[in-house]
Chains A and B, each alone.
Chain A
Amino acid sequence: MQVVSGVRDPLVTGGKTVHDVSHDISRHVENPPAKSWYLAMAVSLALLGYGLYCVFMVLWNGIGMWGLNKTVGWAWDITNFVWWVGIGHAGTLISAILLLFRQKWRMSINRAAEAMTIFAVICAATFPLIHMGRLWLGFYWALPLPNTFGSLWANFNSPLLWDVFAISTYFTVSLVFWYIGLIPDFAVIRDRALAQGNQLRATIYNALSFGWEGGAKTWMRYESVALILAGLSTPLVLSVHTIVSFDFATSIIPGWHTTIFPPYFVAGAIFSGFAMVLTLLLITRKVFKLEDYITIYHIELMNIIIIVTGSIVGIAYITELFISWYSGVEYEGYAFFNRVQGPYAWAYWSMMTCNVISPQLFWFKKIRTSLVATFVLSIIVNIGMWFERFVIIVTSIHRDYIPSSWTMFHPTMYDIGEYLFTFGLFFTAFFLFAKFFPVINMAEVKSIVKHNSEKVENKKVAESTHA
């Protein structure tokens, strides 16, 4: 293991021992859930149920249940898709890139962040499916499967097909990565269950842990696999949203056809992803009393990432505006004029306020270390990022080249219902995860808990620095 400077603030506070770690995390799996959990679960299931009704109505009657029209062929559906995919990015960034860069502070947050990634990608994937006019055929016609139609094949020119590959690869790798991380922790729960004499739990978690026995060789392989998967995931952090941005960038619609999109989308994705991680962890931390594991230091670091990515996004917005004027292209110019001044200006300015101005507040240490401010701003950022996608998608196509076709888009209850459906799905999954899976990576956290032997070392260092 690497050497950690003794001068650094400890990542886990409260003088936790290895046993404390196991106990603090595992007890949430072992104990019956709190009333608040049932309440939260009930709300999520209600959302999910209502959402399912809306999904059913759309599938049964047709896409016309949504507010789309002849000019605006995508609106909330693809907005939500891009938004959810973006949210997923933080998890992968934390688990993969930060692992490669040996950022140990990631250890207390990567589990929940990865879980968030997986659930967010599932939520995201529902939109490209439901938004198809003929889902019952589209779900497999979009795949390059051998078929009996002769030489009929998927169209490899289409960015939508690239999306299919990008999202499915991303989902698979994220799932495998997450699950492999879970294996030693499942084994801990199994062992504790055996000690407590709960045979049923022991059997289930034994199966989940693939019979992990904790040998040195196994640990070695485990760490190698984690590194390999981190290496595989790292390009995905960049590629997935790049490909999602190609849906727009390769088109010919002013406001979509923008070469700046790939980096701009990736930055935006990480931006919104960290905001979502913060929203979730601030709640989990409070409910599960994990203040010693997810400390203000963690939150501050994440807020710094939000400032950085938020500023990148802000620069991208301003660049877009500049280029639309500088290019001298009338349609490009009008597209952005229309964003700023047109009927959807309120959406544009909501986006600007939420994404560019609000994260700048994190320059103040007081704000970025305040739990309440962080929580509020994390939600504002996610609202802003939703508007970003809405602005890009809807304001570009609602007034494009031919003025006779200019229209407005008005969402119906089914547009909203579909969005609520994914919230229901996401939180149901997340609460199930929080109850049945260890929300913090115990195995990794244990590696950064101060051992008794280190305490002596610490003392020495402290003395020498004070001397």
Chain B
Amino acid sequence: MKENTKIYWKGLEQLTNAPEFVKNAGNEFGAPPPEENVEHSRRDFLKMMGFGMSAVALAACEAPIRKAIPYVNKPEEIDPSIANYYASTYINGGDYCSIVVKTREGRPIKVDGNPLSGVTKGGTSAQVEASVLSLYDNDRLRAPKAAGKNTKWEDLDQAVIAKLNEINATGGQIRIVSNSIISPSTVAVLEKFNAKYPTTQHIQYDQNSHYGILKANEESFGTAMIPSYDFSKAKTIVSIAADFLNSWVSPIEFTKQYALVRDAGEGQKEIARHYQFESNLSLTGANADYRAQIKPSEEGAVVVMLYNLIAGLAGKPTTEGGKDVKYLKAAAEELWKNRGNALVVAGSNDKSVQTLVNGINDMLGSYGTTILPGSPLNYRQGNDEKMNAFVEELAAGKVAGVIFYNCNPVYDHPAGDKIAAALKNVTLTLSTSYKEDETATSTSFLAPDHHYLESWNDAEPKKNFFSLGQPAITPIFKTRSAQESFLKWAGENNTDYFEFLKANWKARFFKGGNFQQFWDKCLYDGVYELPTESASVTFKGDVNAAVNAVASSYKSGSGYELVIYENGTVGNGSQANNPLLQELPEPITKAVWDHYVLISQKDAAKEGITNPESKTKLATITVNGKSVKVPVLIQPGLAQGVLAIAIGYGRTKAGKVADGIGANVYPFVSTVNGSLSYQAASVSFKIEEEAYQIAQTQTHHTYMGRQTVIREYTTEDLKTDPSLLTDRFSPQVATWLDEEHKVKPGELSLWKGHDYKNHHWGMAIDLNTCTGCAACVVACNVENNVALVGREEVINRREMHWLRIDRYYSSDAPVDDWKGLEEASDNPEVVFQPMLCQHCNNAPCETVCPVAATTHSTEGLNQMTYNRCIGTRYCANNCPYKVRRFNWFKYHDNKQFQTSNVAQTSDIGKMVLNPDVTVRSRGVMEKCSFCVQRIQNGKLQAKKERRELQDGEVVTACQTACSTGAITFGDMNDPNSKISKLLKLRPANPDRPYSIDKIAGNPRAYTVLEEIGVKPNIFYLSKIRNKESAKA
């Protein structure tokens, strides 16, 4: 068909295609008059106004959007909302723990113990649990610094290498100062550095020095080492001022072992007997069966006496001197009876005392059984003499370069002031601390190391026990592994510490095969362990010299004596800027956010000090011309004439959280016989007029003889009458039938009670194995995003802890003297009771809530629906256990909580929050949920895999953290679950196995406040003291 080529046109302009026409072709109406701008018509104006108005209105309705950035490219190993776990190693100075790090979306949010470790066996401590928040510390260094200004790593390296070369050229002395280094690869790195700069010497010191043991062992056995101890083999444990459950040598490991021999089973199982001779009531002393109060100046004499008593029994020559104290003879006889299964430890850092202890243990045959010299520990290699010599050298200007490798001696060494002053005249001063701490502020270069959760590392805590540390997050700031820094400064070509570490492991441990497989296995397990070696030792210490040394160096002064101790919360102060630790109630004093000097009850009466409502006065303590001013707290159990004060406070450059709390008492530590001595024979103590209120979470200290709260028995009583366990306190209700017909409370009910057809969650807590260490409290805080409210709010008695550890002292008053029962004994027995929501089956909180915000689940959980809560607090009032916590303020938002609640108020801190747990807002009630998020996760996992939930799959955070296994959680409907077996649970009515009513057959099992019939799902196992009788 022929194409139509006709063209139609509208006008001549179109036909000619004039440029003017083409320009305006699309514009039908031509140019508008100037007053009518088509681009913004009236309609548009109305539209925009309308949109604007509604947008503003809508925006006002919406909650502000917080940044949540999704992955653009999802990393293969990260699934949003699915947690990843990495085995790693906690290293902080000489403290170590093998751990498993839980990460969510690439952020470490929780640290658990690594059960594969042969050393810590899955145990942790409060400090290990809290360390995950130190990673997100706002006061960390963001970048390297030189002369107080941020710099680049390249520039810093250049400057440092130049200085090192300059020193090297002139033959100047270089020193690397650190705490004990337990990382074999780090030691290898330092050797490389040493090779490049041969004048380098490595000085190790420890805040809590154990140099006396090293030296004593050197004299006794020829090698300066600290042997492994095995408390789990001991039937009799005697400790002279060694706080082995809290701060002595390897507390995590010892706690685990100790629990094994303190597990009383069903009340008849034999448990180890523990004697403690000490001045201040330590966590260890609180767990002892017999505790005698001695003055620090008597420590040596008591050890001498014990030596003589044992020597007498062993038929060996005795020595002069010694001081007999209560229980010492009995302890000696028992040790001798159980020789081979006996263990004597002493906390003294004096080599002469430790030599005597070695002698005692040698006579008792402890070496090879409870003490294993074949597996020496590496935590405490600090050499006080070398450190003191270094300080002298430094002061004399003989040192040209000092590198402080992750240590802070300006703060935590007795000669800190001297070091700080001397550093001004040193050519090269450098700190690798990840914070600008007291030492780092005195150095010219800051080369911040990673936090341990950001870095590769390894550890050999004990000979032949290795543990790998792997990063769980990419470095948050511009920090660099200190080892890499050392390699760089040593001029190495390959400075990647990971490669170095891997190569080191390959060279040391790899025995052929596929290295990648070996490496992956090590990394997966987090630990690599070789068979332990046994070694026999012969004691050749000079006992007489030791006795003479003791006699000459232990003299009591005229005034008070002072004990300097490390407490269970901030410890040596290195993690003081961690609010989890500051707000953790100190296990014994229950004080938080405060530093204080402890005084005995008798001395307090003499000095006219009382502590009503934790109100007290300040006092000035002066030791060797140095004084501090701290509040005074009365401590039952502290020996008369003795004051006690903790290290770890008085930080000035730790950060916003810790700065200004308390006073630094490291300068009080003196050197005796070449090692640091944490006591002072004579101090001046002056009470000031200034009033002060200490923040304590518990202000009433006795349990008022209430057996329904605490049930405790002595082994002697149980031997004569085992039925005491069930019969001594057994509330019963008389019925209408007749006077003789009595039933247990809770058996009488109008209702049939419901059935839990699926699971019935419950918990058992063993009061005997619980040492009160409080690791579970920190774990609970971290897992459940519990707000930290700060000092003022704790004084207002509003701490938010879901799980608390009630610490009760015994009282001398008879049980019907209610006034007298309020006073604790002078040397009290102590019991720790973890207290959390009891998940009552007949929960009094549930019935009183007007809006049904707290309800019961079909699995026995008492649930709290934050969204529904209107905050009448009736539930908290009606809770007999007082475990409900109210959000008095907006803890996650209000400015006044920025210091304490860093995990919820700062952008970096928020990274630690557990995304599975809601952060509670103002005005709602909260409480323990039995880690319902973990239960849910376990159930979903089982459902996905189309199988039943297995016992042990769901563990609560507190249970995981508990080194002693005192907490058992599980399904009480499952007759084969651990909890059912432990408690010997059986349904009250055999026809209704899933009913709420379960009877515990274990005679030690009881529920708190049994007689009020709330039927808790938490059972406690009563406390058994291995004592002759209750009064002794």
Listed in ascending order, the chain A residues whose CB lies under 8 Å from chain B are 61-64, 67-71, 73-74, 128, 131-135, 137-138, 141-142, 152-155, 157-161, 164, 247, 250-253, 330, 334, 337-338, 341, 397, 399-408
Q: Is the CB of A402 within 8 A of B709?
A: yes
The answer for the CA separation of A270 and B797 in the assembled complex, in Å, is 36
Chain A residues with Cβ below 8 Å from B1012 are 252, 401
Chain A residues with Cβ below 8 Å from B819 are 341
Chain B residues with Cβ below 8 Å from A138 are 851, 870-872
Chain A residues with Cβ below 8 Å from B1014 are 252
Measured CB to CB, the nearest residue on chain A to B873 is A73
Q: Is the CB of A70 within 8 A of B878?
A: no
Chain A residues with Cβ below 8 Å from B880 are 252-253, 400-402
Of the listed stretches B508-516, B699-707, B760-768, chain A binds B699-707
The answer for the CA separation of A132 and B871 in the assembled complex, in Å, is 5
B887 within 8 A of A: yes
Chain A residues with Cβ below 8 Å from B566 are none
The answer for the CA separation of A161 and B924 in the assembled complex, in Å, is 18
Measured CB to CB, the nearest residue on chain A to B806 is A404
Contact status of A63 and B888, CB under 8 A, knowing A158-B847, A251-B844, A403-B709: yes
Closest 9 CB pairs of A and B: A133-B871, A133-B923, A64-B888, A138-B870, A73-B873, A69-B797, A404-B806, A405-B882, A160-B850
A-B CB contact pairs (8 Å), 10 listed = A62-B888, A70-B799, A70-B884, A133-B886, A133-B887, A251-B844, A399-B700, A401-B880, A402-B880, A406-B699
Chain A residues with Cβ below 8 Å from B850 are 142, 154-155, 158, 160-161, 164
Measured CB to CB, the nearest residue on chain B to A155 is B852
Chain A residues with Cβ below 8 Å from B894 are 61
Partner of A69, one of B796, B806, B847: B796
Q: Is the CB of B704 within 8 A of A134?
A: no
B869 within 8 A of A: yes
Q: Is the CB of A402 within 8 A of B871?
A: no
Listed in ascending order, the chain B residues whose CB lies under 8 Å from chain A are 613, 698-700, 702-704, 706, 708-709, 793, 796-799, 804, 806-808, 818-819, 833, 835, 844, 847-852, 868-874, 876-878, 880-882, 884-890, 894, 922-925, 1008-1009, 1012, 1014
Q: Is the CB of B872 within 8 A of A132?
A: yes
Q: Is the CB of A73 within 8 A of B924?
A: no
Q: Is the CB of A154 within 8 A of B709?
A: no
Q: How far is the CB of A412 from chain B (nearest CB, A)?
A: 9
The answer for the CA separation of A69 and B850 in the assembled complex, in Å, is 21
Q: Is the CB of B877 within 8 A of A397?
A: yes
Q: Is the CB of B870 within 8 A of A64?
A: no
Q: Is the CB of A158 within 8 A of B870?
A: no
Chain B residues with Cβ below 8 Å from A68 are 873, 886, 888
Chain A residues with Cβ below 8 Å from B872 are 128, 131-133, 138, 160
The answer for the CA separation of A443 and B191 in the assembled complex, in Å, is 108
Chain B residues with Cβ below 8 Å from A397 are 877
Q: How far is the CB of B300 from chain A (nearest CB, A)?
A: 38
Contact status of A63 and B704, CB under 8 A, knowing A70-B876, A154-B850: no
Measured CB to CB, the nearest residue on chain A to B702 is A403
Contact status of A401 and B881, CB under 8 A, knowing A133-B873, A408-B613: yes
Q: Is the CB of A337 within 8 A of B818?
A: yes
Partner of A404, one of B698, B851, B869: B698
Partner of B890, one of A62, A402, A406: A62
Chain A residues with Cβ below 8 Å from B882 are 70-71, 400-402, 405
Q: Is the CB of A401 within 8 A of B798?
A: no
Q: Is the CB of A64 within 8 A of B889?
A: yes
Contact status of A134 and B876, CB under 8 A, knowing A61-B889, A141-B851, A403-B702: no
Q: Is the CB of A403 within 8 A of B808?
A: yes
Q: Is the CB of B848 within 8 A of A160?
A: yes
Q: Is the CB of B848 within 8 A of A251?
A: yes
The answer for the CA separation of A160 and B876 in the assembled complex, in Å, is 14
Measured CB to CB, the nearest residue on chain A to B848 is A158
Q: How far is the CB of B588 from chain A (nearest CB, A)?
A: 14
Q: How far is the CB of A237 from chain B (nearest CB, A)?
A: 24
The answer for the CA separation of A158 and B849 in the assembled complex, in Å, is 6
Contact status of A152 and B877, CB under 8 A, knowing A61-B889, A402-B709, A404-B804: no
Chain B residues with Cβ below 8 Å from A61 are 889, 894
Q: How far is the CB of A402 from chain B (nearest CB, A)?
A: 6
Q: How far is the CB of A124 from chain B (nearest CB, A)?
A: 15
The answer for the CA separation of A137 and B851 in the assembled complex, in Å, is 11
Contact status of A73 and B889, CB under 8 A, knowing A63-B923, A153-B852: no
Q: Is the CB of B851 within 8 A of A407?
A: no
The answer for the CA separation of A400 and B703 in the assembled complex, in Å, is 12
Chain A residues with Cβ below 8 Å from B870 are 132-135, 137-138, 141-142
Q: Is the CB of A253 within 8 A of B923?
A: no
Q: How far is the CB of A63 from chain B (nearest CB, A)?
A: 6
Q: How far is the CB of B809 from chain A (nearest CB, A)?
A: 11
Partner of B852, one of A63, A154, A405, A408: A154
The answer for the CA separation of A439 and B885 in the assembled complex, in Å, is 48
The answer for the CA separation of A399 and B850 in the assembled complex, in Å, is 25
Chain B residues with Cβ below 8 Å from A155 are 847, 849-852
Partner of A141, one of B700, B868, B888: B868
The answer for the CA separation of A400 and B881 in the assembled complex, in Å, is 9
Measured CB to CB, the nearest residue on chain A to B705 is A330
If A64-B889, A69-B796, A161-B850 are given as contacts, then 6 extra A-B residue pairs at C-beta distance below 8 Å, sorted by A number, are A63-B873, A134-B871, A158-B849, A160-B874, A399-B700, A404-B806
Q: Is the CB of A132 within 8 A of B706?
A: no
Chain B residues with Cβ below 8 Å from A128 are 872
The answer for the CA separation of A70 and B885 in the assembled complex, in Å, is 6
Chain A residues with Cβ below 8 Å from B613 are 408
Q: How far is the CB of A326 from chain B (nearest CB, A)?
A: 15
Q: Is the CB of B922 within 8 A of A334?
A: no
Q: Is the CB of A133 within 8 A of B851?
A: no
Measured CB to CB, the nearest residue on chain B to A77 is B873
The answer for the CA separation of A248 and B703 in the assembled complex, in Å, is 25
The answer for the CA separation of A73 and B798 in the assembled complex, in Å, is 11
Q: Is the CB of A133 within 8 A of B924?
A: yes
Chain B residues with Cβ below 8 Å from A152 are 852, 868
The answer for the CA separation of A81 and B1008 in the assembled complex, in Å, is 33
Chain B residues with Cβ below 8 Å from A338 are 818
The answer for the CA separation of A155 and B848 in the assembled complex, in Å, is 8
The answer for the CA separation of A15 and B885 in the assembled complex, in Å, is 66
Q: How far is the CB of A381 from chain B (nearest CB, A)?
A: 27
Q: How far is the CB of A227 from chain B (nearest CB, A)?
A: 35
Chain B residues with Cβ below 8 Å from A341 are 819
Q: How far is the CB of A152 from chain B (nearest CB, A)?
A: 7
The answer for the CA separation of A21 and B924 in the assembled complex, in Å, is 56
Contact status of A62 and B797, CB under 8 A, knowing A341-B819, A402-B881, A403-B808: no
Q: How far is the CB of B837 from chain A (nearest CB, A)?
A: 13
Q: How far is the CB of B994 from chain A (nearest CB, A)?
A: 24
The answer for the CA separation of A251 and B699 in the assembled complex, in Å, is 25
Q: How far is the CB of B47 from chain A (nearest CB, A)?
A: 33
The answer for the CA separation of A141 and B873 in the assembled complex, in Å, is 15
Q: Is the CB of A70 within 8 A of B851?
A: no
Q: How far is the CB of B793 from chain A (nearest CB, A)?
A: 8
* Residue among B799, B881, B886, B925 facing the most chain A CB atoms (10 A cut-off): B886
Q: Is the CB of B849 within 8 A of A73?
A: no
Q: Is the CB of A401 within 8 A of B709?
A: yes
Chain B residues with Cβ below 8 Å from A74 are 873-874, 877
* Residue among A161, A338, A397, A406 facing the most chain B CB atoms (10 A cut-off): A406
Measured CB to CB, the nearest residue on chain B to A252 is B844
Q: Is the CB of A402 within 8 A of B799?
A: no
Q: How far is the CB of A275 from chain B (nearest CB, A)?
A: 28
Q: Is the CB of A401 within 8 A of B890?
A: no
The answer for the CA separation of A99 and B973 in the assembled complex, in Å, is 63
Chain A residues with Cβ below 8 Å from B889 are 61-62, 64
The answer for the CA separation of A71 and B878 in the assembled complex, in Å, is 10
Chain A residues with Cβ below 8 Å from B806 are 402, 404
Measured CB to CB, the nearest residue on chain A to B800 is A70
Q: Is the CB of A73 within 8 A of B706?
A: no
Chain B residues with Cβ below 8 Å from A64 are 793, 796, 798, 888-889
